[in-house]
Amino acid sequence: MGLNGILSGALTSLQANTSALKVTSQNIANLNTANYARRVVDFGNLGAAGSPVGVTVEDVRRVTDQYLTQEALTATSTSNQCDAQSTAFDQINTFLGSPGDGSALTTKLNNIFTALGAAQLSPTSSVNQGSVVSSMKSLASSISSLSSSLDTLGNQTDAQLGQSVQQASSLIKQVYDYNQLIKTAGAHGNTDTTYLDQRDTALNSLAQQMDIKVAPQDDGSVLVTTQDGLNLVGDSYAKLSYTPGSNGVYGTISAQDTNGTSGNPIGAAQTLDSHLTSGTMRGLIDMRDTTIGGLKAEVGTFAKTVAQSFNQVHNANSSYPAPTTMTGSDTGLLASDSLNFSGQTTISLTDSSGTLQHTAAIDFSAGTITVDGSASYSFTNSIGAFTTQLNSALTSVGGSASFTDGQMSLSGGSSGLVMTNPTANSGQRAGTGFSQFFGLNDLFTTSVPNITTTGMVASDNLGLAANGQVNFVLKNAAGAVAAKVSVPITAGMTVGQAVTAINTALGSSGSVSLGSDGAITTTLATKYTNGGYQLLVASDTTSRGTTGVSLTELFGIGANTVGQQADNFSVKTAIANNPSLVALGKAATTGTQVIGSGNSAGLQALQALASSKQSFSKAGSLAAQTSSLSDYAGAVYQDVATKSSDAASNKTTQGDRLTEAQSRMSGNSGVNLDEELSNMIIYQRSYSASARLLTTVGELYDTLLSIK
């Protein structure tokens, strides 16, 4: 090799090692930079005419492993999903309490039966009555507070989902923009651009929000999709949007494919929810819809059954002295609705000592009211006609009756009112007694009717204003929407016509039917029965007359409607303000002493609820069952405890998985200071050797030039 060849080798070596030293310095400088992938220098021979003439830097490569990168992204998504769920469970456990402590529903319920037991010997004692009512108010307050807390948590979770969607949408656009910058840099020969690291940072942040699948392309860009292939970043990008809802009525995430150049939409938007398998968004959706929504339904079912079971007993008994007025609950019914009661009921008017003064014997089957065995009043089969005649009958003995805004009200004037049935199971509408159906002597009240066996018939006019509308959505726990239907409501529509309108709107998705008891049941199509699908009420702008009760509230239509039973759950105001009105005695059906001091038969009937079996519909994660109130409340806590434990365990497991994935990726792509310092020494020595060689060549040239 001639001196020129040696000179070329020395110069190219100086240049190559200078570049290598710069890369090594850059690696060291980014030792603690997140998502920085170390660079390595690939050297190559320079040759001319088959002879080596030096060295060159062929490439500066980012050290990455696609498998490890994808595993880290997947682990990031799963870990963030578990974090979101675990955080929500921490909040649930905070306001739910634990079985056995003073704040748990099970404890509050048991306190009622304890107070009833203590009042056994002296049921008319104001102290004992106050203790019983206080324990009932405590349970009601806990149910209402828990319901409100679940609504708040659901709304907070939904708001967080909205923020997560905004962040994910912004990150998707960032990745798309980085793709364009990287392709441009590559076209100009820069394959080591810092945009690569910045894109990795954006991808990692995106993986926190949702699970993604990343596929590198030959031009340096990456194709980003969901795990099942929905496009997020490619030749176009997905623009995500979401409008937060409230109180159990939530929408879905929209993914709109968008032209990257013009920003115009491409095709129709898709629902993203069902494409998400992990990430913060998946965790929030699962907590909002399945866990919080399911728990809300369980609490609502518990509240509904508590109200129905206690109210049934309470309406069958009386306080001492008997109340002089009875104000019913808002049934959602109208005066024009069919009465549809059968059998007999007796309204007894007593003096302050419980002695019978007057009787109004109602025979629903015959359509008559007989006062004190003589005067008779006839009524037709409508609530309004019945109330008019009942008012006339009671007025004749100093009382009155009215029905306004869905509420029946009775007054005995100066006399006490006692409701009795002369025979078992008489005076009923759709299996519910007269007093309980109208809530005349209810103990617990709910914000929507808790009796959904309405006793209505298909020909009953709904009494709804025109332009109302009910919107339903059929979707499963993953957020897959099978159908969205709107049911327009017209003035004068009957119950039967409303059922037909709903079925027409649902089409092949399912149907609703009106039973002989006036209850409306929902049946989904076979293809949706095993997919976890539920028919939910998205909105309902209908209202029956002046009752304020909507169509879906009246009949309990929609899987999310039952949760409303726990909203504003309370002890009836009259009893809460005057504990002496709690019905701890049982009225006699014969003789002149209707109710007396010391009578504790009503108290014993309330006590029996501690062990009596109640029917609970399917709600949340709990199957339909027959159990005691206490056992069902315990099942609610067990359900939450199991899920909470699983969430905590999953958080730990997935956190460990993420740590391991990041460790492996760091071992492959991260900067090792010892290794970089070793490389620096090698490159420095190589640089020094090249410089020494260059000096030697210079000396040789000087020597040759000095020869004469």
Q: Is 454 left (phi over 0), alpha (psi -120 to 50) or beta?
A: alpha
Q: What one-letter code names the amino acid at 46?
A: L
Average pLDDT, the chain: 91
Phi-psi region at 279: left, alpha or beta (left = phi > 0; alpha = psi -120 to 50): left
Instruction: Look at residues 457, 464, 480 and name the one whose alpha carbon lies nearest to residue 540.
Output: 464
Judged against a pLDDT cut of 90, whether residue 231 lies above it is answered with yes
* Tokens (6 digits) for 333: 């019914």
* Range name among 160-169, 529-538, 668-677 with the lowest pLDDT average: 668-677
pLDDT computed for residue 423 by the predictor: 62
Q: How far apart are CA 45 and CA 52, in angstroms?
A: 7
336 vs 193, more confident: 336
Q: For residue range 146-175, list pLDDT tens digits in order.
A: 999 999 999 999 999 999 999 999 999 999
Query: Which of the two residues, 148 and 9, has the higher pLDDT score?
Result: 148
Q: What is the structure's pLDDT at 708?
A: 64
Long-range contacts of 119-124 (CB under 8 A, 24+ apart): 119/584, 119/600, 119/603, 120/600, 120/603, 120/604, 120/607, 122/598, 123/320, 123/584, 123/585, 123/598, 123/599, 123/600, 123/603, 124/320, 124/580, 124/584, 124/597, 124/598
| CA diameter of the chain | 156
682-700 per-position pLDDT tens digit? 888 888 887 887 788 777 7
What is the pLDDT averaged over residues 77-99? Answer: 91
Handedness of CA 270, 488, 618, 152 (dihedral sign): positive
Q: What is the pLDDT of residue 316?
A: 93
Q: What is the pLDDT of residue 103?
A: 85
- In tens, the pLDDT along 443-477 reads 999 999 999 999 999 999 999 887 789 999 999 88
List, for residues 296-319, the tens digit of each pLDDT value.
999 999 999 999 999 999 999 999
pLDDT in tens, 611-635: 999 999 999 999 999 999 999 999 9
Per-residue pLDDT, 468: 87
User: How do residues 471-492 score in pLDDT, each as one tens digit?
Assistant: 999 998 888 888 999 998 888 8
Q: What is the pLDDT of residue 12?
A: 80
CA distance 309 to 386: 27
Write down the pLDDT at residue 141: 96
Bridge partner list, 403: 408
Confidence of residue 670 (pLDDT cuts 50, 70, 90): confident
Answer whether residue 535 shows pLDDT above 70.
Answer: yes
Residue 193 has pLDDT above 80, yes or no: no
The C-alpha angle with vertex 517 and arms to 511 and 523, in degrees rounded to 5, equals 20
Q: Mean pLDDT across the stretch 92-120? A: 90
> What pLDDT, in 10s, does the model give residues 43-53?
878 776 666 77
pLDDT at residue number 39:
78
Percent of the chain residues past pLDDT 70, beyond the cut: 98
Residue 569 has phi, psi (to 5 degrees) of: -65, 130
Domain ranges across the chain: 3-63+670-706, 66-122+133-319+594-669, 468-560
Digit-coded pLDDT (tens) for 409-440? 999 999 999 998 766 567 899 999 999 999 99
State how far the Cα of 179 lies from the Cα of 184, in Å rounded to an integer. Answer: 9
> Which of the residue ranges 39-48, 224-233, 361-370 would you say has the lowest mean pLDDT?
39-48
pTM of the predicted protein model: 0.89
**Cβ neighbours, 10 Å, residue 378:** 10
**Does residue 236 surpass a pLDDT of 80?**
yes
Under DSSP, is residue 279 helix (H, G, I), strand (E, B) or coil? coil
Three-state secondary structure call for residue 537 = strand
The pLDDT, as a whole number, for residue 55 is 81
What is d(CA 210, CA 168) in angstroms, rounded to the nearest whole number?
A: 8
* 264-291 tens-digit pLDDT: 999 999 999 999 999 999 999 999 999 9
Torsion of the alpha carbons at 447, 448, 453 and 458, rounded to the nearest 10: 150
Per-residue pLDDT tens over the stretch 563-603:
999 999 999 999 999 999 999 999 888 889 999 988 999 99
pLDDT exceeds 60 at position 1: no
Specify the pLDDT at position 695: 82
What is the pLDDT, as a whole number, of residue 19? 79
